[in-house]
Amino acid sequence: MTDIADIPEIADVIPDRETLDGTKVSIDSILNVPLVFTGWEIRPSKHKKPGNEQCLTLQFERNGQHHIVFTGSNVLISQIEAYEAARDKTKPRMFKAVIRKIDNFYKFGRSEVK
């Protein structure tokens, strides 16, 4: 019989994946609004299109509530990848920005005017 102390916990074997939760909103409803993004995830898209095969999930807080938005924007995905590579991993995983629509693409921009 195996001693219960010898049975590993699943959390010790499989790294905990951040859970992104919140009310789903459309990306157009948050354009040009300063937000604090508190989580993100890039995964294969369920709605693949040529040249657009990934989906970015962004979590943010607004009025004390968590919200999420899904996008296949290659520009936002590349900005998140660059931020993730450059960010200080000792600090919380969050940033502030606005999402702007420029012609046919979305882009993170400065959240306040300097």
Residue whose structure tokens are 């657009």: 52
Tell me if 68 is assigned to some domain. Answer: yes
Tell me if 15 is assigned to some domain. Answer: no
pLDDT at residue number 5? 84
Tell me if 50 is assigned to some domain. Answer: yes
Say how many domains are in the chain: 1
- Residue range of the domain that includes 45: 20-109
Per-residue model confidence as pLDDT tens digits over 21-44: 899 999 999 999 999 999 999 999
Read off the pTM. 0.79
pLDDT higher for 68 or 13? Answer: 68
pLDDT higher for 16 or 55? Answer: 55
- Measured CA angle at 65 (ends 34, 38), to 5 deg: 60
Tell me if 72 is assigned to some domain. Answer: yes
Nearest to 108 by CA among 44, 52, 45, 60: 60
Per-residue model confidence as pLDDT tens digits over 61-107: 988 899 999 999 999 999 999 999 999 989 988 999 999 999 999 99
Q: How far apart are CA 114 and CA 111, in angstroms?
A: 10
Residues 6+ apart with CB under 8 A from 37: 58, 59, 60, 94, 95, 96, 97
Tell me if 100 is assigned to some domain. Answer: yes
Tell me if 14 is assigned to some domain. Answer: no
Q: Are 22 and 38 in contact (CB under 8 A)?
A: no
Tell me if 5 is assigned to some domain. Answer: no
Q: How far apart are CA 51 and CA 53, in angstroms?
A: 6
